[in-house]
Structure 1
């Protein structure tokens, strides 16, 4: 599953947002997500497993509980794709801006010629 598939689900996006702030136990995540989305602890655990399997999150033992952390390098794929699209659009928008400025300059020139 690619990163965009992983982030397609609002519950998983919210878990990533929570983990971006700080590492959390599965219980903390379950309580936050459960109250926000109205889903059960097993449903939250399933979403955490999807994020682990996708390489976005990792779990490590912390005594009797599991502590989840975000793997920032897993976001690199999505960030690279966004940067590539942004570069394409920036180039296109710059070209559009140039053409619009040429059109405005041409219209102003014609208007001055008409008044002369």
Structure 2
């Protein structure tokens, strides 16, 4: 089953180290497909697949100017993922705090 919701596409795209490296490159400056590809020792079709995944997730944008295809990073999807992580981090921390309090209560009862 292939996920199609935005967050699933974003996290799936970020799951691969090559795609994360591509995003790191593009966070420094826009680059052509060729400039991105020359950083990796993988085939052109493999790079193309990685770029399609990033594009589908909305993490990059391709523009064409004459024969040049320029890639730029889009940070909005990363913001969306960050909001989701922060929301859940707060919930997890609250649960850990509640567990810690419960364990303290149990320890006090055992000591009595």
Global fold match (TM > 0.5): yes
Range that drifts further, 87-96 or 52-61? 87-96
Aligned to 2:17: 10
Looking at structure 2, the residues matched to 20 and 103 of structure 1 have their Cα atoms a distance apart, in angstroms, of 50
> Which structure 2 segments of 5+ residues have no match?
none
Matched, 1:64 2:71: no
Larger radius of gyration: 1
> Which structure 1 segments of 5+ residues have no match?
111-116
Deviation of 1:91 after TM superposition, in Å, equals 1.4
Looking at structure 1, the residues matched to 49 and 63 of structure 2 have their Cα atoms a distance apart, in angstroms, of 16
Deviation of 1:21 after TM superposition, in Å, equals 2.0
TM-score normalised to the size of structure 2? 0.73
Aligned residues: 105
Q: Secondary structure at 2:38's aligned position in 1?
A: helix
Q: RMSD of aligned C-alpha atoms?
A: 2.5
Q: Secondary structure at 1:29's aligned position in 2?
A: helix
Q: Where in structure 2 are the equivalents of 1:1-116 lying within 5 Å?
A: 1=4, 2-32=9-39, 34=40, 38-98=41-101
* Greater helix proportion: 1
Question: Residues 42, 86 of structure 1: CA spacing in aligned structure 2 closer, same or farther, 3 A cutoff?
Answer: same
Deviation of 1:59 after TM superposition, in Å, equals 0.9
Q: Secondary structure at 2:45's aligned position in 1?
A: helix
